[in-house]
């Protein structure tokens, strides 16, 4: 899936990956997809929870070199 924006949060600890995602998603149009790269293991819990609470669609995660890539569709 193609992402409209990408944010590199590799090396940042909780809650910074979620805070970066929230800031970027606020500037995106509904339906656009954000790809967030994170190495903090808590992002696997925090990002889906953030999406549920904010109404965004969590599209999944895949392993990448140095961390995990998370896909989020803006509501």
Catalytically active residues, by annotation: 14
Q: Which H, E and C letters describe the chain, residue by residue?
A: CCCCEEEEECCCCCCHHHHHHHHHHHCCCCCCEEEEEECCCCHHHHHHHHHHHHCCEEEEEEEECCEEEEEEECC
């Amino acid at each position: 899936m193609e992402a409209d924006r990408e944010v590199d949060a590799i090396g940042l600890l909780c809650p910074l990956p979620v805070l970066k995602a929230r800031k970027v998603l606020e500037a995106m149009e509904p339906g656009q997809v954000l790809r967030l790269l994170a190495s903090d293991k808590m992002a696997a819990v925090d990002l889906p929870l953030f999406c549920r609470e904010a109404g965004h669609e969590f599209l999944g995660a895949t392993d990448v070199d140095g961390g995990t890539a998370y896909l989020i569709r803006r509501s």
